[in-house]
Each structure stands twice: as structure tokens, then as C-alpha cells.
């Protein structure tokens, strides 16, 4: 057996062993039990990430489904075990939610952009937006952290209301995900909207599981690492097509 074939054999053997352990410890979810339920926000980023996870879990014999929830509530439910985990979140959340375990392979990435209506920013920096009246979505941790201490920030649970306030001139700008911003710009009658470049922040997004599913962590981590290295994650996300 050559080295390449031996490596594949060893990897497949390890997958089988880990799957058996996971099945025993988790009440056999990989052997026809109830699917794992993962919280997600329902935006295009999280929908794309869920596609990646469905394929990764399919490869290890585990069925998953997404449950659309408000961002803050989803985190609380994942922490308390009311759902089994989170589709995609930034790295820092485990500091506040210690029962959530991060799968240490990015499932996607987030670009936080500053969106304005009928105006453009000359510079896109934290200092440049500090004195603007900003709108952010509650539960968007990167936006909450970046705007902490800023004097005029409106926080609402839904981006739709933030957009209304921006269009009415009651907010100067929104700090939102690029994917959501571009979807809004594509709608009829939204010609005033601008995404100011460059992105204020680019951060990797990670999948999280509740600690009750700790036995699955090494298995899904290994599968996602293989998908990342092969380019399969980028293919599912359509990253190559966007370049």
C-alpha cells in the first residue's frame, strides 16, 4: 500500500471510529435518530453556511435542519440546549456563551459594511463613523462590539426597521452584513443606497455546537477541514464564481 492510499485508509478508519463513538454517546443521532437543529438568522450568509453544514454532516451520516430565529434569541436557545447549536457566528461568542463549542474551521466569512442613503463616506474607519447616528441589528456581535461606547447607536431586532429609518433620514448609516446590504440594493426603488468601501471589518464565521454534542466535534471538524482543503466549501458558497 503506497503512502497516499495508506493516508486515505487511515482517515476513513478514524471517521468510522469517531462516528461509532458519537453514535453511542449521543443516543445514535447518526443512525436514524432525530436531526440536529441549528439556529440561524435566515439571511443569505446563514443560508449559504447551512448548505455547507448540511453537506458536511451528510458525509458523517448525521441529518441537520435549520431553525430560523432572531439573532439574540438563537444564541440563548443554543446555550440552553433548546436548539443543538448555531449555524454561523463570530469567534468571540464562546466568551459569553460557555456551553457553545466552536468548530475550528470557518464555515463562511462576514464583511461588515457601512451603508448610507444618498451620501458616501470619504473614509470608512471606526473614527470616521463614531459621530454618525448608526443603526445595528441586535444580536450582530461584531456590530455591537465595534460600536460599543459610540454616542449615537440605534439597536433594533430587525434590519427591515433599520432600513426604514435610514430611508427616512432618521439614521445616518447602518453597519450591516454585505450580503444583506447587496440584496437590499437590488430591490426596486433602492437607488439611493450606497455600500461604502472598503468593508469596515472582515471576520471568519464558525459553526457552534452545544456541549451536549461534544462527541461530534472532532468528527465534524475533520470533515469540514477536508472540505476546506479540497475547495468544496468555497464551491458551495460560490466564492470562485464571485471572484
Condensed to tens digits (0 to 9), the pLDDT of residues 61-101 reads 999 999 999 988 999 999 999 999 999 999 988 889 999 99
Task: Give CATH superfamily name and number for 3-108+205-242.
Answer: Periplasmic binding protein-like II (3.40.190.10)
Same topology for domains 3-108+205-242 and 110-202, yes or no?
Answer: yes
Output the pLDDT for position 243.
39
Span 17-45, pLDDT tens digits? 555 555 554 444 444 578 999 999 888 88
SS3 (DSSP) at 114:
strand
Counting beta carbons within 10 angstroms of the beta carbon of residue 189, is it exposed (0 to 12), middle (13 to 18) or buried (19 or more)? exposed
Output the pLDDT for position 139.
82
Output the pLDDT for position 28.
41
Output the pLDDT for position 221.
98
Total residue length of the chain: 243
Of all residues in the chain, what percent carry a pLDDT higher than 90? 75
User: Quick one: cell of 177?
Assistant: 452584513
Domain 110-202 has CATH 3.60.150.10: no
pLDDT at 240 over 60: no
* The most confident of 31-40, 112-121, 132-141, by mean pLDDT: 112-121
Output the pLDDT for position 6.
52
> How is the chain split into domains, by residue range?
3-108+205-242, 110-202
Q: Which residues of 15-26 are buried (b: 16+ CB within 10 A; e: fewer)?
A: beebbeebbeeb
Span 176-195, pLDDT tens digits? 999 899 999 999 999 999 99
Amino acid at each position: 500500500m503506497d503512502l497516499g492510499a495508506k493516508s486515505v485508509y487511515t482517515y476513513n478508519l478514524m471517521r468510522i471510529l469517531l462516528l461509532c463513538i458519537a453514535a453511542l454517546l449521543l443516543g445514535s443521532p447518526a443512525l436514524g435518530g432525530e436531526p440536529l437543529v441549528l439556529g440561524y438568522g435566515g439571511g443569505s450568509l446563514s443560508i449559504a453556511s447551512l448548505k455547507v453544514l448540511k453537506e458536511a454532516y451528510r458525509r458523517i451520516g448525521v441529518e441537520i435542519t435549520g431553525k430560523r430565529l432572531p439573532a439574540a434569541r438563537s444564541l440563548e436557545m443554543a446555550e440552553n440546549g433548546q436548539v443543538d447549536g448555531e449555524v454561523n457566528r463570530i469567534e468571540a461568542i464562546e466568551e459569553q456563551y460557555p456551553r457553545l463549542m466552536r468548530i475550528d474551521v470557518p464555515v463562511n466569512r462576514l464583511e461588515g459594511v457601512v451603508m448610507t442613503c444618498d451620501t458616501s463616506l470619504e473614509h470608512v474607519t471606526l473614527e470616521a463613523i463614531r459621530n454618525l447616528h448608526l443603526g445595528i441589528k441586535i444580536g450582530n456581535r461584531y456590530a455591537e462590539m465595534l460600536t460599543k461606547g459610540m454616542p449615537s447607536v440605534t439597536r433594533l431586532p430587525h434590519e427591515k426597521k433599520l432600513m426604514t429609518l435610514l430611508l427616512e433620514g432618521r439614521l445616518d448609516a447602518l453597519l450591516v452584513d454585505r450580503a444583506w446590504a447587496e440584496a437590499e440594493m437590488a430591490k426596486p426603488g433602492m437607488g439611493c443606497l450606497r455600500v461604502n468601501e472598503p468593508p469596515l471589518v472582515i471576520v471568519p464565521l464558525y459553526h457552534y455546537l452545544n456541549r451536549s454534542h461534544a462527541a461530534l466535534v472532532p468528527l465534524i471538524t475533520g470533515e469540514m477541514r477536508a472540505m476546506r482543503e479540497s475547495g468544496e466549501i468555497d464551491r458551495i458558497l460560490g466564492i470562485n464564481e464571485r471572484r
